[in-house]
Structure 1
Amino acid sequence: MEPTARSTGDSPSAATHGGGRPGWRQLEHYPNARYRRRCLTIAVISTIYLYYALYTQGTVATQIIRNYDFSFTTFVVMAIVANVAGAFAALFAGLVDRFGRANLVVGGLLTVALLVLFGLPNAPSRLWFAVLASALAFVEGMALVATPALVRDFSPQLGRGLAMGFWTLGPVLGSLTCTVIASNTLDQHPNWRFQFHVCGAVGLVVLGAAACGLRELTPGLRDQLMVSPRDQSLVEARASGLDPTVAAQGSWRRVARPHVFAAALAIAVFLLLYYTLVGFVVVYFTTTYGYSESRSNALANWFWISNAIALVVGGLLTDRLRVRKPFMVVGTALSVAGNILFALSATHADTSYYTIAGYFVVMSVGGGLTYVAWMAAFTETVERISPAATARGLALWGWILRLVVALGLVGLLATLPSTSTLVDHGQRVRTIAAAHPRQVAVLSALDARTSAVLARDPNDIGALANALREVATQQGASPARAAAAATAVRTRARQVTAARAIRPATLRTLEADPADLAAVGAALGDLVRVLHVDQAAAISLLTSLNDPAVRADLVLVQRYGDILAAARAAIAPADLAYLSAHGTSVARAQRDGPRQWQRWWWICIGGQLLFLPSVALLSGRWSPRRARADERAHAERVARELAALRTASDPTPVPAPLQG
């Protein structure tokens, strides 16, 4: 039988303090199922939006990097600073919990919506963008501690799994919202600011719903353990004599225990791969597979959708079976298996789109089962210490999580130097290569030192010899012929220099008719003018060019020299200089990048394996049979305590517990 609207808070005005006081959002009675579902829905939608706002920049990261001239390293450092800001904001949220969890969420939504709608897309400089991104992370670090606390308050332990399944949809559906909107709008609205404008507009709608409908329990109600809805009468009876200030005293000290720290650290390490995908899935697929931003986001949708389904189904199953720990173990095994397949595919550029999508499904289902079971078990672990310490426990978790993510980003930078090169210089190099594919293929055959020397001095004999050998090899010449071209440059250095000094038209005339006096005179003039030699030396050089052996060598040199010269002439000087400076490093990064990413994926897999021992630190049974026995024992204790309260409460009896 459901309680009446007046006694349960089915009508907000009937169950709140006066509207003008700070606690006007507080419900004085534990609400019925329908009202709880409404508050839970608003809390979950708020969480989804907060993560959507936080992750929006990841969907257009490459554009933001180009727009503000970030280097990839600087961009990641900005993310590190933002996570540190969010970490300490989470601790701060534990301190300001007395001002109201619902108030914290509503204020956070307002600030985030304004930052996303007006702040970030209009940031005047790289520094301002970084400052505003850190401010966004700070506000969300506070709000994202309050939302799981609200979900815990409105969900007895026997329904905690499903409730946390819906709450953990927040980061997943936030990511999914980002990628769905981006993959369907980037082609029509390529400007990255459009994504922020859409996000800000959505935020104002969510803010309106939260401001009007979000409520919370009074401290007296929320600071108690509620295993099932049958405990309502006892919880309300206790609340009338509970001093929230006394109950909250020492909550930081009580919750800051080694097993709580270890459990929070373990899940943070487990989620390293998840947070890598959130921030860099577009960077990974654009640099490793050459996908567009929209195609990369579309592929990520497979991960987020599968993860969302697993979170809800997994939460429901943990409630039905009354256990959490087995789901963490099974989920970790699935996640590791999918992650191994995904890591192995990093060095196989021919891996198909749908094969990777299949790996995403396996790893995301496993990760979802693990995370939803952990969130339910962690809140129950904190409740076992002290229900009044819930917000502090979640603040501690949020603090550790964001610090680990920040440290993980430092590790990512150290592991992926090639990605920095590809993000910073890859696009322009690819653009030049697309416009001049044959010429860039020729120039790419040159090593970096040879290109640099030739850029400074095109007549450097040593660099020219190396360059012609590399060009000959690129053109398909045999090793002997390529070596002969390099040897000809060195042994005929004087003649090569002389031939390069004579104007091409004059040289062609002499090749056709060595006795053409006009051509001879013009050639001698070129030699004297360009090489600064006297007439006798010029005649000696010109005469040596007619030697059959010299001419044979010069023909070989000229063939590959002309190919090199034509390649350099076809590309604009600025592009040629950029290609000379970065082409080789980009090519090397393109080759090394997949192996470096694979190494990072193995590190993430190691983090998931390290998570497994921590499962034993959390409260809860492994066996469904023993869990149900605990449930029956709890129900008997509640019945005895209610009976004692009825005997002691004279003349007003304590209401009977809910049935069913």
Structure 2
Amino acid sequence: MMTQGEMNAAPLASRFWNRELTVYPDQTARRLYLLLVVLITVVLYYELYVGGGVATLMMADLNIPFEVFVYVTAISNLLGAFASLVAGLADRFGRANLVIYGQLLAALITLFWMPNVTSMVSWGIALSAVAFVEGIVLVATPALVRDFSPQVGRAAAMGFWTIGPVLGSLAVSGVVTLTLPHYRTWQSQYIIAGALGLVLFVLSLLFLRELTPSLRDQLMVSERDRMLVELKAKGLNVAASLAHPWRQVLRVDIIASALGVSMLLFFYYTMVGFGVIYLVTIFQYSVDEANALFNWTWATEGAALVAAGLLSDRLRVRKPFMLVGAIGFCALVWLWLQMLQAAEKPSIGTLTVISSCLISFSAMAYVTWMASFTETIEAHNPALTAIGLALWGWIIRVAVSACFVLLPSVVTSMNPLLGAGPVLAAYEKAVADKVPPSAELLAALGQVKQAAVAAPAEWRTWYWICIGAGLFFTATISVMRGRWSPVAAKRDQEAHDAVVARELAKLRESSGLAQQDAA
């Protein structure tokens, strides 16, 4: 028999585990849930990306060669890929608890484990742990966004969700710019990120909710569908809709579109992981200057994501935005390439403008792709959104891992350039002391000079690969669901609204007849 204390504790424990809403929430409540999901996403990406902002300091302190840094990053992404498949369970067991308790685990690793690593191996294990948790949580979060956003308004909602990685990147560059001159250690950045993660865990533990399977497993095009969705939910066979889930989502349109967007993001992940290294080694900017450039870049991308999402929803189309975004992206990566060939070092302002415009076109393509991708999954089975997103999460992380594995074989000059500081300092000291440099020092200096000459051409090759990846994305747009014409899209919605009105009328009529029979 339960004690009084156990009886009082049971409802509290149930509240912290059972988070299902049996009624579709109104617009204000949905916006609050979406805001909380976006904040969670921002902090998770901040925790994942924070190492990139202090990469040069961390690599020097832990004696991590550039190739090892890249390969460990690739391995961690690969672990995240298989973790994304685990997140497909969210269709059966819910999204909210995966997000909340995964977020707690990520915060604890970032706050207590990462700042205390003392070797290359321990750093790699800790990074892989964070990436594995991220792979689970960051598939469940867009599933929540989809649940709380009808298709009319989906691009705007996904725009706010995709701000997560952008603001996570902005948080890294902004916090590093503000706090690194004071704390002067790379460990301090992990401590700040982990502490913020714990704050978001408490908020999500208290307030995050999700729809019941019978509500979320239906297609909702607009707000007008709300009553029909709730009525259908009462008789929906959830188990039947979830039968053979992988067989239902392994479709050409889902796989091809996920692969296409993964390749489009090659340049973005290069900037996130190695942007600071690139600017420091190629253009000799300081770490603070490099992070200041990315402050503007990520802030501009955030604005572009929201603007493109709102405009896409207003015009009711996705594909034209994806195409224009991809073409603009490729054109500006080509312009970025020209900066590498310039006779003079470009100003930080010039690179900031190019980088901000480039990333804005990428954002236009990506946010409308996210909306179109969830709608493509819904066209097959709305009940399998999380499974479809898990497949996307797996593909994108495998593709990014392949990207990172390929990078060192293309850009081979990074190790000598990253170690140039001590070599040049030793050479200058030898000259000042009028001591002949040793053979080893002269050999190291020769490697630095050769790397400095080779690096621009190697990076140009890499950015041409990124342009090719962007063009491949354009080829996959046609397989996705959605119209090219706003006029045709408007006709589709009007036809859908008419069907919903007829079905509601039938349900009301049958309900009235049933009541008469009962009487």
TM-score relative to the length of structure 1: 0.74
Q: Partner residue of 1:646?
A: 508
Q: Partner residue of 2:274?
A: 280
Q: Partner residue of 2:494?
A: 632
In structure 1, give the amino acid aligned to 2:257: A
C-alpha displacement of 1:248: 1.1
Q: Distance in 2 between matches of 1:335 and 1:299?
A: 18
Q: Does 1:126 align with 2:120?
A: yes
* Distance 1:235-1:67 versus aligned 2 partners, 3 A rule: same
C-alpha displacement of 1:578: 4.5
Within a 5 Å distance, the mapping from 1:114-153 to structure 2 comes to 114-153=108-147
In structure 1, give the amino acid aligned to 2:395: I
C-alpha displacement of 1:123: 1.5
Q: Distance in 2 between matches of 1:62 and 1:25?
A: 43
Q: Secondary structure at the match of 1:226?
A: coil
Q: Unaligned 5+ residue runs, structure 1? A: 1-16, 441-565, 654-660
Q: Does 1:363 align with 2:339?
A: no
* Distance 1:110-1:356 versus aligned 2 partners, 3 A rule: same
- 8 Å contact kept, 1:251–1:386: no
Q: Partner residue of 2:468?
A: 606
From 202, 207, 216, the equivalent of 1:222 is: 216
Within a 5 Å distance, the mapping from 1:251-400 to structure 2 comes to 251-348=245-342, 349-400=344-395
Q: Partner residue of 2:485?
A: 623
Q: Does 1:238 align with 2:232?
A: yes
- 8 Å contact kept, 1:23–1:100: no
Deviations 1:391-424 (A, max 9, x none): 011000000000000000111111000012222x
C-alpha displacement of 1:75: 1.0
Q: Partner residue of 2:402?
A: 407
* Distance 1:434-1:629 versus aligned 2 partners, 3 A rule: farther
* Distance 1:652-1:214 versus aligned 2 partners, 3 A rule: farther
Q: Does 1:175 align with 2:169?
A: yes
Q: Distance in 1 between matches of 2:429 and 2:471?
A: 47
TM-score relative to the length of structure 2: 0.94
Q: Distance in 1 between matches of 2:338 and 2:414?
A: 18
If asked which structure has higher relative contact order (CA below 8 Å, sep 6+), I would say 2
C-alpha displacement of 1:290: 1.0
Q: Partner residue of 1:596?
A: 458
Deviations 1:151-173 (A, max 9, x none): 00000000101000000001111
In structure 2, give the amino acid aligned to 1:221: L
C-alpha displacement of 1:205: 1.1
* Distance 1:435-1:103 versus aligned 2 partners, 3 A rule: same
Deviations 1:465-502 (A, max 9, x none): xxxxxxxxxxxxxxxxxxxxxxxxxxxxxxxxxxxxxx
Q: Partner residue of 2:7?
A: none
Within a 5 Å distance, the mapping from 1:184-195 to structure 2 comes to 184-195=178-189
- 8 Å contact kept, 2:151–2:222: yes
Q: Secondary structure at the match of 1:186?
A: helix
Within a 5 Å distance, the mapping from 1:498-647 to structure 2 comes to 567-569=434-436, 576=438, 578-647=440-509
Q: Secondary structure at the match of 1:621?
A: coil
C-alpha displacement of 1:124: 3.4
Computing the radius of gyration from Cα coordinates, the structure with the larger value is: 1
In structure 2, give the amino acid aligned to 1:70: I
Q: Partner residue of 2:32?
A: 38
Q: Distance in 1 between matches of 2:104 and 2:445?
A: 46
Q: Distance in 2 between matches of 1:30 and 1:96?
A: 19
C-alpha displacement of 1:577: 5.2
Q: Partner residue of 2:53?
A: 59
Q: Does 1:47 align with 2:49?
A: no
C-alpha displacement of 1:428: 1.2
In structure 2, give the amino acid aligned to 1:108: G
Q: Distance in 2 between matches of 1:433 and 1:292?
A: 21
C-alpha displacement of 1:105: 0.5
In structure 2, give the amino acid aligned to 1:413: P
- 8 Å contact kept, 2:91–2:383: no
Deviations 1:604-639 (A, max 9, x none): 011101111111011010110110000000001011
Q: Partner residue of 1:418?
A: 413
Q: Distance in 2 between matches of 1:620 and 1:139?
A: 33
In structure 1, give the amino acid aligned to 2:51: Q
C-alpha displacement of 1:287: 0.5
C-alpha displacement of 1:63: 1.3
- 8 Å contact kept, 1:269–1:404: yes
C-alpha displacement of 1:288: 0.4
Q: Secondary structure at the match of 1:380?
A: helix
From 198, 205, 208, the equivalent of 2:202 is: 208
- 8 Å contact kept, 1:251–1:388: no
Q: Distance in 2 between matches of 1:149 and 1:331?
A: 24
Q: Secondary structure at the match of 1:351?
A: coil
C-alpha displacement of 1:22: 7.9
In structure 2, give the amino acid aligned to 1:217: L
C-alpha displacement of 1:647: 1.9
Q: Partner residue of 1:157?
A: 151
Q: Secondary structure at the match of 2:296?
A: helix
Q: Partner residue of 1:102?
A: 96
C-alpha displacement of 1:334: 1.5
- 8 Å contact kept, 1:184–1:294: no
Q: How many residues align?
A: 504
Q: Distance in 2 between matches of 1:586 and 1:646?
A: 78
Q: Distance in 2 between matches of 1:431 and 1:221?
A: 65
Q: Distance in 1 between matches of 2:217 and 2:16?
A: 19
Aligned-residue Cα RMSD (Å) equals 1.7
In structure 1, give the amino acid aligned to 2:225: D
Q: Secondary structure at the match of 1:188?
A: helix
Q: Distance in 2 between matches of 1:283 and 1:23?
A: 43
In structure 1, give the amino acid aligned to 2:306: V
* Distance 1:22-1:189 versus aligned 2 partners, 3 A rule: closer
Deviations 1:166-220 (A, max 9, x none): 0000111100110011112222221100101110111111111111111000000
- 8 Å contact kept, 1:116–1:200: yes
Q: Distance in 2 between matches of 1:568 and 1:261?
A: 63
* Distance 1:434-1:316 versus aligned 2 partners, 3 A rule: farther
C-alpha displacement of 1:581: 3.5
Q: Distance in 2 between matches of 1:294 and 1:422?
A: 18
Q: Percent identity?
A: 45
